[in-house]
Amino acid sequence: MAQTLVVKIGTSSLTGGKEGNLALATIAQLVEVLCHCRQRGDRVVLVSSGAVGVGAVRLGLTERPQQLAQKQAVAAVGQGHLMRMYDDLFSVLRQPIAQILLTRQNFVDRQSYLNIYNTFQALFELGVIPIVNENDTVAVDELKFGDNDTLSALVASLVEADWLFLLTDVDRLYSADPRIDKTAVPIERVVSLAELTQTIQIGAAGSPWGTGGMTTKIRAAEIATEAGVRTVITDGRSPTNLLKILAGEPLGTHFEPRPKTINARKRWIARALIPKGELWLDEGAVKAITVGGKSLLAAGITRVAGEFQAQDAVKLCDPAGTEIARGLVNYNSEEIRRVQGQQSTELANILGYAGADTIVHRDNLVVTL
């Protein structure tokens, strides 16, 4: 049966050697594998890093640029170069590709989020392989994914993929960074991410060009598996592994998909939006939301942190400050400070106008525990 595959390849797999030149053989093999999947009917998205790394090599830089403006300039050089190479290789196999450059803001804005969804669907129907990267040249620091692991997970959730492959320069996740700890134990299957993060050590990026190391890959696995996407971390230097994994071979680290309990809009609220503040709740409100599936009322709010507007996303926290849910607020932060702890019947009196009875309606509320 045709499946939807999102494949993310990191800079560490795209480049090789001391000079950081493009790993042509690896990339060519990946192109062949993706074309093969496409030809048998799968929908394929490639999320490719490398704009900064490739741009730096093109410009003869020996280190990853640190300043934002420099990174943006170098990415602008590298992205074009990268796409030219992909187009050349995919064209040999007569496979059309498309470039999709996204920013964090594109995911926050509901209309543009839906537009991106429609564009992906149209490209799939045309038989095109979209190649996605962050639009590094325009993204500002506060509104950056910063790493393509997270971007690829949000894309996988958006297109409701069956698989997300995170191709990197290690064959799988280990109990500790295998470059540093030679006793590190390989992990083949992850059912509970909460248990995993308590038992393993996650080190930084393996190469000076990689960005997030395993931390961002595990966060990506969390977003994707919650959306019902099976996620696999595997070695990018052997792209044929992808086909072997799809055929059932036990390669890489598999993160089991969780049952899809929330709809696409709620996934957008929980993962694509950036929370602008926090509402701390008393025990009664926590129970009403997590067990009772109820809306959040003003009476259960004990503290309001941050400044935000009505319809912004906020975190809902238990009395210890731990996030338990996210939701869209019906009032701004200043109004909620005035009504916190009060009965809903008092809201209109206090605020001077009749608004919603709830602070966060259950249709706009997602438990994230």
Ligand X SMILES: N[C@@H](CCC(=O)OP(=O)(O)O)C(=O)O
Ligand Y SMILES: Nc1ncnc2c1ncn2[C@@H]1O[C@H](COP(=O)(O)OP(=O)(O)O)[C@@H](O)[C@H]1O
> Which 8-state DSSP code applies to residue 269?
I
Site string for ligand Y, 168-187 (x = CB under 6 A): xxx--xx-xxxx--------
Selection from ligand Y, ligand X, none that 270 binds (CB < 5 to 8 A by kind) is none
83 is in an annotated binding site: no
Q: Which tokens is 84 given? A: 């030219």
Selection from ligand Y, ligand X, none that 356 binds (CB < 5 to 8 A by kind) is none
294 is in an annotated binding site: no
DSSP state letters, 14-55:
HEETTTTEE-HHHHHHHHHHHHHHHHTT-EEEEEE--HHHHH
Selection from ligand X, ligand Y, none that 136 binds (CB < 5 to 8 A by kind) is ligand X
Q: Does 327 bind ligand X (CB under 6 A)?
A: no
345 is in an annotated binding site: no
Selection from ligand X, ligand Y, none that 162 binds (CB < 5 to 8 A by kind) is none
358 is in an annotated binding site: no
Question: Least distance to ligand X from the beta carbon of 247, Å?
Answer: 26
158 close to 123: Cβ distance less than 8 angstroms: no
Q: Which range, of 27-35, 152-160, 167-175, 240-248, touches ligand Y by CB under 6 A? A: 167-175
Question: Least distance to ligand X from the beta carbon of 57, Å?
Answer: 11
Q: What is the Cβ-side half-sphere exposure of residue 84, based on CA atoms within 13 angstroms? A: 9
Selection from ligand X, ligand Y, none that 53 binds (CB < 5 to 8 A by kind) is ligand X
Q: Does 10 bind ligand X (CB under 6 A)?
A: yes
Q: Which residues contact 263 (CB under 8 A, 6 or more apart)?
A: none
Q: Does 11 bind ligand Y (CB under 6 A)?
A: yes
Q: What gap in Å lies between CA 161 and CA 227, rounded to an integer?
A: 9
Which residue's CB is nearer to ligand X, number 24 or number 348? Answer: 24
Site string for ligand X, 148-187 (x = CB under 6 A): x---------------------------------------
Q: Does 234 bind ligand Y (CB under 6 A)?
A: no
Say how many residues touch ligand X, by CB under 6 A.
17
Count Cβ neighbours within 10 Å for each residue of 149-175 and write b for 16 or more, e otherwise.
bbbbbbbbbbbebbbbbbbbbbbbbbb
Going from the C-alpha of 166 to that of each of 47, 130, 149, 216, the distances in angstroms are 9, 16, 7, 11
Which residue's CB is nearer to ligand X, number 130 or number 210? Answer: 210
Q: What gap in Å lies between CA 330 and CA 339, rounded to an integer?
A: 12
Q: What is the dihedral of CA 224, 145, 359, 294, to 10 degrees?
A: 10
Mark the binding-site residues, compressed into ranges: 8, 49, 136, 148, 168-169, 211-217
Q: Which residues bind ligand Y (CB under 6 A)?
A: 10-13, 168-170, 173-174, 176-179, 200, 202-203, 205-207, 210-214
